Amino acid sequence: MEYTKVKDYTAMAQQMTGVYKSTVDNSINAMAMIQESTEKMVSLSLEQSPWFPEEGKKYVNAWIKAYKKGYDDFRVVADEQYKKLEVFVNLQKKADSVGKTEKANKAS
């Protein structure tokens, strides 16, 4: 395979990785905004509902905490996986530059 084609694939992989990361980050941020507004609405409703039992309020608050923990865990895992992907793409980029150097040395 010609070096120029590999170089193009590496650049394309870097661009695709950037687009996918931006998409996931924006989706996660949108989920966070929806969750925050829903949490505020539910909390306000619970505060204004004297008929709602305390035990039920505890369960709802536990559910909110569990959702936040799941969200935080998901965000950490997503960030770690994108870092791994970036390392992989950068390793490919380094391999491409080594191949270019070797090709130049052979031509000399």
Low-confidence ranges of the chain (pLDDT < 50): 1
Q: Pick from 37, 15, 42: which is nearest to 29 by CA?
A: 37
What is the Cα–Cα distance from 86 to 13, expressed in whole angstroms?
A: 9
Whether the CB-CB separation of 6 and 75 falls below 8 Å is answered with: no
Q: Write down the pLDDT at residue 33.
A: 94
DSSP 52: S
Please tell me the distance from the alpha carbon of residue 35 to that of residue 33, in angstroms, as a whole number: 5
**3-state secondary structure (DSSP) of residue 107:** helix
Q: Does the residue 104 lie in any domain?
A: no
> What is the rounded CA–CA span in Å between residue 90 and residue 18?
13
Provide the domain limits for residue 27.
3-99
How many domains in the chain? 1
What is the predicted pLDDT for the residue at 34? Answer: 94
Q: Which residue has the tokens 């996918």?
A: 20
Number of helical H runs and strand E runs in the chain: 2, 0
Q: Is residue 76 part of a domain?
A: yes
pLDDT in tens, 36-65: 999 999 989 988 888 889 898 899 999 999
Q: What is the pTM of this model?
A: 0.65
Does 66 reside within a domain?
yes
Residue 71 resides in a domain:
yes
